[in-house]
Amino acid sequence: MADKKRDSLRKVLSGIVAAIAGAPDREQGLSTAKASAVAEWPLPPSATLGSALRLKGIEREIRARLPWAVRKFAKAETGRIILRMLKTDADAFQAASAIISRTLEGIETLAVLPREAEDILTISARERHKWLKDGRLKSIGTRTVKMRGRSKAVTFHVFDPRHIEDVLDRDLASAWREEDAQEASENRRRGAGKAALTRAGKRQRKARSARTSGNDDAPPPKLEGWDTFEAEGLLR
């Protein structure tokens, strides 16, 4: 009986030892399966123009050209584009790397979207619309997209990144903002002058109207000697 218990205990211990011995092999296989293949591409400041929105826009542009199943593995970070995939997806990794390389060849000329222009130049949407309308901000065309959650497509103007960079480097947005403030002040001054003239004209018309109505209500002037003149029948 005691021998059977000792044999059973030895079997249990042997199983535990075997399980512990086999664990590193399983962990090694798991880490091998999760090992990543990584590729990086530099992203120059002339492409992002210092804008986080522009960086996100470049990421969307790259992902849009990749197969749907691979898009989530491409990521834009400050100064670089990273593609990180499992080593088991070697073929998909190579194909995605080639697409990203081709896309980045002309990334510095990628059109600037309205929200990106506002972020780069630190301007409001109202200023962007005004300066676009009067020609200070120059559009290079329009783009039409179907926005998620909207039944109709949206059309908007896009900008040349070199034009936006020039406006940024010369700080033209500050100069335009000052011009607009001076113009608004001048318009207010002219408007106040016109309003004052209008009020003065109204007061003059009221005064003339009051004088005229006062004369109409007064009795007609009585001429001296008129009764004698009329009694003698000189008008008959």
Q: What is the 3-state secondary structure of the chain?
A: CHHHHHHHHHHHHHHHHHHHHHHHHHHHHHHHHHCEEEEEEECCHHHHCCCHHHHHHHHHHHHHCCCCCCHHHEEEECCEEEEEEEHHHHHHHHHHHHHHHHHHCCHHHCCECHHHHHHHHCCCHHHHHHHHHCCCCCEEEEEEEECCCCCCEEEEEEECHHHHHHHHHCCHHHHHHHHHHHHHHHHHHHHHHHHHHHHHHHHHHHHHHHHHHHHHHCCCCCCCCHHHHHHCCCCC
pLDDT for 97-156, tens place per residue? 999 999 999 899 999 999 999 999 999 999 999 999 999 999 999 999 887 777 788 899
**pTM of this structure:** 0.66
| Phi, psi of 75, rounded to the nearest 5 degrees | -140, 140
Closest listed residue to residue 167, CA positions, set 127, 194, 196: 127
What local confidence, expressed as pLDDT, does residue 42 receive?
Answer: 95
Residue 42 β-bridge partners: 80
pLDDT in the model for residue 121:
97
Q: Can you give the pLDDT of all 236 residues of the chain as single tens digits?
A: 445 444 444 443 343 333 333 344 433 443 444 678 999 999 999 999 999 999 999 999 999 999 999 999 999 999 999 999 999 999 999 999 999 999 999 899 999 999 999 999 999 999 999 999 999 999 999 999 887 777 788 899 999 999 999 999 999 999 999 999 999 888 888 887 787 777 777 777 777 776 676 665 556 656 566 566 566 555 55
